Amino acid sequence: MKLSNLKPAKGSTSDRKRIGRGNATGQGRTAGKGHNGYKSRSGTKAKLHFEGGQTPLARRLPKRGMGKGKFNHLSSSKKSIQIINLSDLSRLKDKEITKDVLYSNGLISNINLPVKILANGELADSLNINVEFFSSSAKEKIEKAGGTAKAI
C-alpha cells in the first residue's frame, strides 16, 4: 500500500455545489440566495439582536433590576445577616452561646456571616451571648434574665 493509492471511503465525499453557473444548473441567476437585497450579497451577516429595523427588544425593555449592566446599586450595599430569636436561644442547653454553638445546633447556616439576636420570645435562664449584633430590646431582655450580651 502506498500513499498514492489511498482514496476516501465510497460516499464519504461529494462534489462542491457550483452556484451561479447558469439557469440550467438550478443554482443560476440568484445563486440560491433568494432575490436581491442585503442578504444576497457576499460577506453579510446581520447582528444577532437586529430585528429588521424595529426597535430591538433590549431597547424596548426598562433597564432595572439585578444583573450585569443593569441598575443595581442596592446589590453592592446589601449586607447578609443571620437572624436568631430569643425563643430559639431558650431551647439551648449551653450557658455560653457563641457562633460555634449556634452553628453546631443548626440555628445558623454559615459561621462566617454575622449574627443578630432579636427580642422575639422570652428567656427563662441567664445566658452569656457573644455575637455581632443585638436589638436593643433583646439586650434588655437578656440582661433582665441575668445574662450578658456582648457584641464581638
Give 16-40 as a DSSP string: PP--SS-GGGTS-TTTTS-SSSGGG
13: alpha, beta or left, given left = phi > 0 and alpha = psi -120 to 50? beta
- Does 147 reside within a domain? yes
Cα–Cα distance for residue pair 82/80, rounded to 1 Å: 7
- Give this prediction's pTM: 0.51
* Domain of 71, in residue numbers: 20-78
Specify the higher pLDDT residue, 117 or 64.
Answer: 117
- Does 10 reside within a domain? no
Coil, helix or strand at residue 131: strand
Residue 43 binned pLDDT confidence (cut-offs 50, 70, 90): confident
Angle at 121 between CA 118 and CA 127, to 5 degrees: 75
Give the tens place of pLDDT for each residue, 74-121.
555 667 899 999 999 988 888 999 999 999 999 999 999 999 999 999
**DSSP conformation class of 55:** P
Q: Are residues 87 and 51 in the same domain?
A: no
The answer to whether residues 33 and 40 touch, using CB atoms and an 8 Å cutoff, is yes
